[in-house]
Structure 1
Amino acid sequence: MSRGRPKDPEKQAQMMAALLDAAERLLNRKSYKSITIRELAAEAGTQSAMISYYFGNKEGLFLALLDRTGDMRQRRLQQVAGLLGTEPERVLPVLVSTISDIMTEEPWLINLVKDEVLASEGRLREHFVKTFPVRIGHALLTMFSVLQQKGILRAEINPRFATASMISLMAFPMIAEPLIQGVLGVDRQVLRSDAWKQHLTLLLTQGLGYFPAQGDSDEIR
């Protein structure tokens, strides 16, 4: 890749993507605070000035990374929501699998949450809330409300509480992985396994009074 600023719009898009990919890879290996602009540029095969040109600064680059992955997650959740009109009984098992995949496919995001979002306030924290919990929270709340209207969730279940419970069940093991890995042997490999997805699905279906189709019920037993 050229180390100067490309003039072609397509090549500019490629360089921006390369910088975003570099930020993601580095965050998989080290903390946000320890990553330097020079490291980011070297990882992307370009010059440090390109970060300033395209993103303003290091923080701007990581804000853009949150935007990019937030849009990807939103598209995947919209695909799940599409089942509401055709196969509502499959929504919860597919939703558990989708969110589990999203979280285990983005270890860098968990690192950012632990290092920055939970530890300090700032633009990264504010932007993370908008691109992850707010988007997922709204999507879950809508889906749970529709499922309740269809009689698939018990009438006495509070959709807001159900949303909070699901987010907690799925996010906490990822954030607390160093603790539960040492004590229980539950590591990232376990958290991305079908057995873990089935466990979460069973907990949620039993707790929410969810009534899946016979085939789905057999799958989670």
Structure 2
Amino acid sequence: MDMPSFPPKTAAKRGRKPAGKRAVGRPTGDSADLRGRLLDVAVSCFAHHGIAASTLREIAHEAGVNPALVHYYFGDKQQLQQAVIAERLMPAFTEVRNATMQGGEDIAGVIAGFVRGMCETIEKHPWLPPLWVREVLCEGGALREVLFQTVGPQMPQVLAAKFAKAQADGQLARDLDPRLLVTSLIGLTLFPAAGAPIWRRLFDADDIDAVAMKNHAIALLDTGIGIP
């Protein structure tokens, strides 16, 4: 007598997930760069809307992804903020520091390197000036402690010490304050970039780009305003 036949066990009956299914929120195979793109979108949102006002849902919307993906990569907003600091903000300042330190012991080269490095970094990372104004300069900004604890010891304080030594060696004018010289350099580079939307409209100055700003700052430092 013929034995009855039974259909083969399916993947689902063996307790396996059907083919093609994946856990909700997990990236697909073609999303190797998605984490980096989410960081780029996050830092842009932080710069233009503020860290406190930027939600994970809004960041996901700007990136065109499900909010679950943001949670998958970063967990929560605090972890996303720390990732932005470590992987976007600090590398940007490292670029400035590296350009500055190429001047070695030549103080004019150090100053020119800072101006060049800051202007080129701002051109490459246009989110830096508005983020700095919102989250460092403004009272209650979320990144002010990053300046005091991390950025400050790595660059501004190092520069001030280098300028003080150069002054003691006769390479800088005696009536300059090395600490204020650092502030002045930032005032010639980072702050004008932050205010660019205002002064470009005020002076009809859309022709002034990052290169022109860099050249202006270096010329001002080299020759002053030309009055003997």
Task: Compute the TM-score of the two structures, normalised by the length of structure 2.
Answer: 0.66
Q: Secondary structure, in 3 states, of the residue corresponding to 2:201?
A: helix
Offset, 1:19 = 1.7
Of all paired residues, the percent bearing the same amino acid is 28
Structure 1 pair 104–185 and aligned structure 2 pair: CA distance change class (3 A): farther
Deviation at 1:166, TM superposition (A): 1.4
Contact 1:101–1:192 (8 Å) recurs in 2: yes
Which AA in structure 1 matches 2:98?
Answer: Q
Residues in 1 aligned to 2:118 and 2:136: alpha-carbon distance in whole angstroms: 19
The letter of the residue matching 1:190 is: I
| Counterpart among 154, 170, 180 of residue 199 in structure 2 | 180
Distance across 1 between alignment mates of 2:77 and 2:157: 29
CA contact (8 A) 1:16 1:54 kept: yes
Q: Aligned equivalents of 2:107 and 2:131: distance in 1?
A: 34
Q: 1:134/1:171 Cα in 2 relative to 1: closer, same or farther (>3 Å)? A: farther
Deviation at 1:141, TM superposition (A): 1.8
Contact 1:67–1:131 under 8 Å retained in 2? no
Which of residues 188, 197, 211 is equivalent to 1:193? 211
Alignment equivalent of 2:94, drawn from 64, 74, 99: 74
- Following TM superposition, the consecutive aligned residue runs of length 4 or more in structure 1 with deviations greater than 6 angstroms are none
**Runs of at least 5 residues in structure 2 that lack an aligned partner in the other structure:** 1-21
* 1:46-125 paired onto structure 2 within 5 Å: 46-68=65-87, 69-85=89-105, 89-125=108-144
Runs of 5+ unmatched residues, structure 1: 208-221
TM-score (norm 1): 0.68
The match for 1:214 is: none
Of structures 1 and 2, the one with the larger relative CO (CA 8 A, separation 6+) is: 1
Say which one has the larger Rg: 2
Residue aligning to 2:26? 5
- Which residue in 2 is equivalent to 1:37? 56
Which has more helix, going by share of residues? 1
Q: Deviations over 1:116-175 (max 9, x none)?
A: 444441533433554555644124324424543554322443211211221122233123
How far apart, CA to CA, are the structure 2 residues paired with 1:84 and 1:164? 20
RMSD: 3.5
Number of residue pairs the alignment of both structures matches: 199
Q: How many Å separate the matches in 2 of 1:31 and 1:116?
A: 10
